[in-house]
Structure 1
């Protein structure tokens, strides 16, 4: 009988971190705050309770964004859920799972970015909501739009989905793969993966450190198995 092409993965936003004020999250290299670490640990333990009740296990290969806050979040998950991995867990950081990059103006304050745009005669005035506009891309080297960042994350997840069935050890419908990244790029990736609609990107956010688990069956819609999206406030920062 032909094997059902089915995968399960948990999308996890990093915990609260030492974020600079009025700076697009971009590639800020700062660590989790003490409270952020505690919240991630709490969320991991709640997830562990569900794993125990449901009988699900974890894929030992954990993928995180290469940014410190995501790597720390993934490390806490491995520590708290060590008994649920089917073998010794391995954590790898990937730039493909990072948040949207604003390129050459990364980690500059919003006011400074807008001042630089005004100083350069080649650039027009950005839309008022440029930080949350899914399709707007700053005209600086290395910048990308949110929708492009989401495609990058979605491609990483899809690549894993396309190869997981070739590995008999990993081809288990109750084996959950952990992907730890960033709120905005994960939401946009969820759109590309047909998990949410485009209109949901601005309506939804993610709780810090909280996993949202989906089951994907090829050529069918995904099913949410655990976790909840957060209703996003308009003033909330993208990451």
Structure 2
């Protein structure tokens, strides 16, 4: 099969509830995030020109408002550069790690829920950034499980993609990082030390037979004391 290219983009900055794991909060982009989305569209237009690629007219985004707004800002700028964008296709496959019935509670509130439930013990220290820990609550998933879901989306789109085309996927940093580990783009031991910049694309290439490569764009290095966010 011919090579296909895929830009993964973490949403722009948004109005996050303080103290809550970022996950699936329903809030909008901040003014800064809106600017970041537009800038990302300009940068993607430059990436298309630099690598001689065409744009797939479907932009994929998670169902969180901040991802859809980021995709919309990107699409508007790409159209301004003369590229065709027909659709922003929302999908739950690109969502951040789900916390199930604890969605959008703060870390302190989640730990209080577990402490008050005789069925559960206390979560391990640093549970929020533990790739394999899943809250023992209805509908929750681990970061690694979220990565499997996102990797499945990327693989399915790549298998159906037109050679030489660039497809844009807008989602969330932690689930993208874990997806890249499952796809062989990152080593498992690299995931915890990396993050993604808001609304800055990483360009990946799929060459068939499960072979993925990082082509362009820069991971954000996480300082040891940085709190992990999506």
Question: Normalization by structure 1: what TM-score?
Answer: 0.91
1:69-84 matches, cutoff 5 A: 69-82=66-79, 83=81
Q: 1 CA distance for matches of 2:50 and 2:153?
A: 29
Q: Equivalents in 2 of 1:236, 1:212: separation in Å?
A: 22
1:113 corresponds, among 105, 110, 114, to 110
Matching residue of 2:168 = 178
Q: What does residue 237 of structure 1 align with?
A: 228
Matched, 1:132 2:129: yes
2:150 maps to: 153
Q: Distance in 1 between matches of 2:2 and 2:45?
A: 25
Residue-pair matches, total: 228
Structure 2: gaps (5+ residues): none
Paired residues of 2:98 and 2:141 also in contact (CA < 8 A):
yes
Counterpart check, 1:206 vs 2:196: yes
Does residue 24 (structure 1) correspond to residue 21 (structure 2)? The answer is yes
Q: What TM-score does the superposition give when structure 2 sets the normalisation length?
A: 0.94
Determine the structure 1 residue equivalent to 2:159. 162
Measured against aligned partners, the alpha-carbon deviations of 1:74-97 in whole angstroms (never above 9, x if no partner) come to: 001100011453x44211111110
Give CA deviations for 1:125-164 in whole Å, capped at 9, x if unaligned: 1111100000000011010000000111111111112223
- The SS at the match of 2:128 is coil
CA contact (8 A) 2:56 2:85 kept: no
In the other structure, the counterpart of 1:168 is none
Cα distance in 2 for partners of 1:158, 1:31 equals: 29
- Describe the superposition over 1:197-237 as per-residue Cα deviations: whole angstroms up to 9, x where unpaired: 10111111100000000111123743322211110123232
- For 1:25 and 1:237, locate their aligned partners in 2 and report how far apart those are by CA, in whole Å: 9
**Cα separation, 2, equivalents of 1:103 and 1:110:** 14
Runs of 4+ off more than 4 Å: none
Q: 2:213 aligns with which of 204, 214, 223?
A: 223
User: Which residues of structure 1 form unaligned runs of 5+?
Assistant: 165-170
Q: Is the contact between residue 44 and residue 210 of structure 1 (CA under 8 Å) also seen in structure 2?
A: no
Give the whole-Å Cα distance in 1 for the aligned partners of 2:219 and 2:113.
Answer: 36
- Pairwise CA RMSD: 1.5
